[in-house]
Structure 1
Amino acid sequence: MSAPAGNMSAVHRDRLPRKMIRADVAGAVRDELVRDPAAIPDLPRVAAALFLSVRTLSRRLNAEGTSFRALVDDVRRSRSEHLLGRTRMTTEQIAARLGYAESASFIRAFRRWNGCPPQEFRSRGGQLPGRASALARAVRPR
């Protein structure tokens, strides 16, 4: 016997959010990673926040073509560029804020992400090597 139409839609509405979360686990993980600007949570903490086991979270991210490590790197890259470009924090302070035990590890990662060390990025006013600012491109004669 089938359920009344009113009950069916309520059942589907209840299931919709879970399906949406499953469809974009990477987005939910990214939201958790950026929730606290002072710290980046580890995999077990993010998994718990999403009510998933570590293994299930890893499997779902893999199914979406990414990994927890890749998402953390992306958040660290973005946050490091913001902090270098908009604050006076030292490289050591930024490394600590991003969860690096040593500033040397942060400097190597930054160079891998951007092709230059953090101090060079900062001295260029937050511009990456080989990339003119949007303003410079807009005013450059053609």
Structure 2
Amino acid sequence: MLWKHNNRANLAVQSILQILEHEGLNPAVCLKNTGIQVHEIMAPDTEISDYLEIKILEQALAALPGKAGYGIESGETLHVNNCGVWGLAILTSPNVRSAFETASRFSEMSIMLSKITLTETQDQVIFSLDLAHLPPSIHSFIFERYYGTTLNFFREMIPEYDFSHAELVVPAHHSEYTQQLAAITNHRVSCSTSGYAIKASKTLLDYPFPKADSVIHAHFIRECEQVLRSHKQLPDNAQKIRNYILNKKVFTPRLPDVASSLYMSERTLKRRLQEEGHTFSEIVLDTKMTLAKELLLTAALPVKVVAVRLDYSEPASFIRAFGKWWGVSPTEIKATDIPVKFLQPAS
């Protein structure tokens, strides 16, 4: 099977499918109940959300033999220069410290599913992963993948730097896993109650990149800022709910189902939405009405068809909701009449 490069999330999932294939397993096993076929992963216009990637990972790891190394194998296929403008901003950074700051600042644009925190001691730098929001079954894989991608990056950017003295930190796993990881990486692996981390000499932070270009770096930073501005139409959790609705095409979603897909309790999701100044029902209605407008104007679908598509039991209910939201009936709306509404963060 030929695996081509395309979008960042697709690259990550492609690497998972490759691993399954190498282990003699059907790659489709990890796509069960995702609505995605193997051939669609190859298509550049196939979008894979975070929650879908997490589900694919869970199902893949459940099918694979339990051992260390799959995440490293995946990470070694991922290169920063395949990560669009985010990767270019990192690659043109003046040194490791700047590269890390850039990667963290624009982490939403990356393949990472976790936030990375940098801590400096007198002689060490510690890169810690925040995995609390992810299911425990994929923690080791995500850590290994981050390690593999990081190793690739240093090999390409500063091949002369000696990374052999780095130390990997994992939670109190079974000793067999720790031994396997140490054998694969040739690094010391220690256990800690604080979670997953990579420790290295503090001198690494200020190690210069030989091909750094401050002018080009500044350009790509501006590009990253523009990308984030154009995509942040909704507050963070509101956008995740909208993505759930549109990806799954479930226009009457249940709060427990959405909360579960985001790996949080109903109470936590409600609290976070309240902090953003919105409610679950408001976001659902906003999504449905925005899509309804697009279906009427762009797709030119009849009102009855749009009503059915959006899970309304009868057209009259849809017409009432649409009129209350937009101020005109579905048959009266015109593209030039009304600007698209967007929920805004609480002030």
- Cα distance in 2 between the residues matched to 1:128 and 1:72: 23
Once the two structures are superposed, what CA deviation does each residue of 1:88-127 show, in whole Å capped at 9, x if it has no partner? Answer: 4322221121122221111111111111110112xx4x34
Cα root mean square deviation, aligned:
2.8
The total of aligned residue pairs comes to 117
- The share of aligned pairs that are identical, in percent, is 34
Structure with the higher fraction of residues in strand conformation: 2
- Cα distance in 2 between the residues matched to 1:17 and 1:84: 42
Match of 2:242 among 30, 44, 57: 30
For residues 17 and 56 of structure 1, do their structure 2 counterparts lie closer, same or farther at Cα, with a shift above 3 Å needed?
closer
Match of 2:250 among 39, 42, 49: 39
Q: Which structure has the bigger radius of gyration?
A: 2
Residue number in structure 1 paired with 2:337: 128
In the TM superposition, 1:105-124 aligns within 5 A as 105-121=317-333, 124=334
> Residue 24 of structure 1: CA displacement?
2.4
- 3-state SS of 1:39 partner: coil
> Residue 82 of structure 1: CA displacement?
0.4
Structure with the higher fraction of residues in helix conformation: 1
Unaligned runs of 5+ residues in structure 1 are 132-142
Once the two structures are superposed, what CA deviation does each residue of 1:30-60 show, in whole Å capped at 9, x if it has no partner? Answer: 2212213x43233222111101122221121
In the TM superposition, 1:93-104 aligns within 5 A as 93-104=305-316
> Residue 84 of structure 1: CA displacement?
0.3
Match of 2:265 among 42, 46, 53: 53
Letter in 1 for 2:262: L
- Cα distance in 1 between the residues matched to 2:321 and 2:280: 16
Q: Give the 4+ runs in structure 1 shifted more than 4 A.
A: none
Match of 2:286 among 57, 67, 74: 74
